[in-house]
Amino acid sequence: MRTLTITPDQVATVIGSIPSGAFFTVEFTKKDGSNRIMNCRTGVTSHLVPADQKKRERPEMPANLVTVFDAKAGNYRQFNKETTKRIVAEHTTYVVKA
């Protein structure tokens, strides 16, 4: 397995390069200061609410948050790319250094 070092600014680029629907693991620090390891994926659309059923417009999300589908919880989750420590995807470990 390869290990690469990236910056927090490159987290979204790395996640964007993972094929849609592929599982990956991300380790990050939550807002309360605890660490979390999450198995997740991008490209999941089966849990989205159709546009005609939306009751209100969603606010614009901050640029530092990355939205993924948490495989264990079965729902969407967000994490801060500034507090990301590690991403494991496609036989590569990306270690985030500030």
Average pLDDT rounded to a whole number, residues 73-83? 94
Average pLDDT, the chain: 90
pLDDT for position 54: 59
Q: Which two tokens stand for residue 98?
A: 């500030």
Q: Please, is 6 exposed, middle or buried when counting C-beta atoms within 10 Å of its C-beta (0-12, 13-18, 19+)?
A: middle
Whole-number percent of the chain with pLDDT over 90: 73
Domain 2-45+63-96 has CATH 2.30.30: yes
- Cα(76)–Cα(29) distance, rounded to whole angstroms? 17
Is 91:81 a contact under the CB 8 Å cutoff?
no
Q: How far apart are the first and last CA of the chain?
A: 22
Position 21 pLDDT exceeds 70: yes
Average pLDDT rounded to a whole number, residues 38-45? 91
Domain ranges across the chain: 2-45+63-96
Average pLDDT rounded to a whole number, residues 73-93? 95
- Cα(57)–Cα(47) distance, rounded to whole angstroms? 17
As beta bridge partners, residue 33 has none
